Amino acid sequence: MTNRNRSREMYEQACRLLPGGVNSPVRAFQAVGGNPLFIERGQGARVYDVDGNAYIDYVCSWGPLILGHAHPAVTAGLAGAIAGGTSFGAPTERELVLAGLITDALPSVEKIRFVNSGTEATMSAARLARAFTGRQKIIKFAGCYHGHADSFLVQAGSGALTLGVPSSPGVPPGLSSLTIVLPYNDLDSVREALQQWGSEIAAVIVEPVAANMGVVLPGPGFLDGLRQLTREAGCLLIFDEVITGFRLGFGGAQGYYGITPDLTCLGKIIGGGLPVGAYGGRTEIMKLVAPDGPVYQAGTLSGNPVAMEAGIITLNLLKQPGIYQQLEERGEHLGQGLAKAAREAGIDTTLNRVGSLMSLFFCSESVTDLDSALKSNQEQFARYFNLMLNEGIYLAPSQFEALFVSLAHTREDLDQTIKVAGRAFLQMREN
Ligand code: KE4
């Protein structure tokens, strides 16, 4: 058993100062038991906890660290940026550079606004869609997470087509009733909802590859169908690409699947590990955003030059030829290895993967929506998580999160991970 005494001591102190001892709930290990690790530093594919233990890291800060930790170009670039000051509350050239990289990569994004998180991006996109259409209702999908803005902390009401109810205290029922929650991959439910509420729907927001119920891929025709149905209904299609943006390819999920959304929300990778979010779309819509137009949205640190620098360096490296082929090869090797190891140990698993983004569910059926994801054996996942952690493999501490592979993960790292997983599955079979 690895020594984690300092993490434990720090967590006890943290719990006196921070709700749940963390600054974001999923970090608290509540789904897998035990105390969270306190991380001292990261380097490449590894993180090191305050007790000096090393782990091959597949959380990658929940997606941003696609280059791995402390990439030399990023740390050098940040040192240079910081030397000139950290924030001015005024336009800087770095905002133009990152905006140019993103708008060149995503043709559907003619104009973009930087914010500080994915939550701000989706919250602002929803406000903008409501202003542009003059409508109030939003359709989202069960199991998709779009950050913690009130309009999205909503769960399906009694029936799929009923109006949403708050999924958190503090969210006004009056607001949540403007959100309709439908099953992911269920185009018929979208068709019915648009028939029932079409003239009131401002937007449909979707994770083009869902990654917050575990990874769930869009079924054949799902995204195309959303594009067509929203166009017919006169509402906007919002792609929440906070995770998929620059993860699936340099053109994001919209490039990978060939769909043109009306608005795109970004985060994570575009900040290279620093706090950056963004929303964007065609000029016809974005021109409504203040100060061009009347839709208010603002932020003290929006477009922060140091954060911009991290994003610029990261995207410039991702733009190099062959990068996404390398990520695909790594993802395929790891995914196939994990699935094979589970199969050989007689443990039922389902692997959902696209590129370097994947989830291993502990169930035998396919996972295509939240209901099927919830059939996964969460106790088995918790046992798997801890067996892996004790052998130096750091996975996301929840069945309903994703596994991220970075460019820093070597073949040896992946093979070591597969070997440890094989031992874990055998132990799971024994008891
Ligand atoms: P942030 O506000 O956390 O930057 O982004 C919210 C968000 C929006 N859209 C999607 C598709 C997202 O996945 C997220 C945030 N992702 C979670 C991980 N599943 C962040 C981890 C956390 O909440 O601590």
Q: Which of 212, 270, 279 to mutate to test the pocket of ligand 1 (most atoms within 8 A of CB)?
A: 212
241 lines ligand 1 (CB under 6 A): no
Q: Ligand 1 atom closest to Cα of 119?
A: 2
In a domain, 129, yes or no: yes
In a domain, 372, yes or no: no
Pairing mode, strands 111-115 and 357-361: unpaired
401 lines ligand 1 (CB under 6 A): yes
Of 305, 323, 349, give the one whose Cα is nearest residue 71. 323
Sequence-distant (≥ 6) Cβ neighbours of residue 203 within 8 angstroms: 125, 126, 129, 130, 133, 138, 139, 230, 235, 236, 237, 238, 262, 263
Q: Are residues 57 and 88 both part of a single domain?
A: no
In a domain, 33, yes or no: yes
Q: Are residues 57 and 127 both part of a single domain?
A: no
Q: Are residues 226 and 161 both part of a single domain?
A: yes
Q: Are residues 106 and 214 both part of a single domain?
A: yes
Report d(CA 150, CA 26) in Å as an integer: 18
Contact 267, 277 (CB under 8 A): yes
Residue 429 CA to ligand 1 center (angstroms) comes to 34
Report d(CA 95, CA 114) in Å as an integer: 8
Cβ density class 111-137: b for 16+ within 10 Å, e for less: bbbbbbbbbbbbbbbbbbbbbbbebeb
Q: Are residues 82 and 53 both part of a single domain?
A: no
Task: Specify the pLDDT at position 1.
Answer: 65
Element (H, E) at 314: helix 305-318
Residue 176 CA to ligand 1 center (angstroms) comes to 20
Q: Are residues 88 and 228 both part of a single domain?
A: yes
Q: Are residues 131 and 275 both part of a single domain?
A: yes
Helix (H, G, I), strand (E, B) or coil at 16: helix
In a domain, 428, yes or no: no
Number of domains composing the chain: 2
243 lines ligand 1 (CB under 6 A): yes
Report d(CA 88, CA 72) in Å as an integer: 26
Q: Are residues 327 and 305 both part of a single domain?
A: no
Residue 341 CA to ligand 1 center (angstroms) comes to 30
Q: Are residues 93 and 47 both part of a single domain?
A: no
212 lines ligand 1 (CB under 6 A): yes
Q: Report the catalytic residues.
A: 145, 240, 268
The low-confidence residues of the chain, meaning pLDDT below 50, are: none
Nearest-CA residue for ligand 1 atom 15 is 147
Task: Specify the pLDDT at position 160.
Answer: 58
- Give the domain CATH number at 285: 3.40.640.10
Contact 252, 240 (CB under 8 A): no
406 lines ligand 1 (CB under 6 A): no
Q: Are residues 327 and 314 both part of a single domain?
A: no
Nearest-CA residue for ligand 1 atom 6 is 147
Classify the C-alpha dihedral 141-143-146-149 as positive or negative: positive
Q: Are residues 389 and 407 both part of a single domain?
A: yes
Task: Specify the pLDDT at position 158.
Answer: 67
Helix (H, G, I), strand (E, B) or coil at 329: helix
Reading the block at residue 380, the tokens are 């088995």
Instruction: Say how many C-beta atoms besides its own lie within 10 A of residue 345's C-beta.
Output: 18
In a domain, 373, yes or no: no
267 lines ligand 1 (CB under 6 A): yes
DSSP-assigned beta bridge partners for residue 191? none
- Give the domain CATH number at 44: 3.90.1150.10
Nearest-CA residue for ligand 1 atom 24 is 24
Look up tokens 């190099």; give the residue.
Answer: 320
Q: How far is CA 420 from CA 17, 82, 240, 389, 427, in A?
A: 36, 40, 34, 10, 11
Task: Specify the pLDDT at position 48.
Answer: 98
Residue 119 CA to ligand 1 center (angstroms) comes to 7
Domain range holding 114?
Answer: 72-318
In a domain, 82, yes or no: yes
For residue 273, the 8-state DSSP code is T
Task: Specify the pLDDT at position 156.
Answer: 77
Sequence-distant (≥ 6) Cβ neighbours of residue 413 within 8 angstroms: 45, 56
Q: Are residues 240 and 209 both part of a single domain?
A: yes
Residue 16 CA to ligand 1 center (angstroms) comes to 25
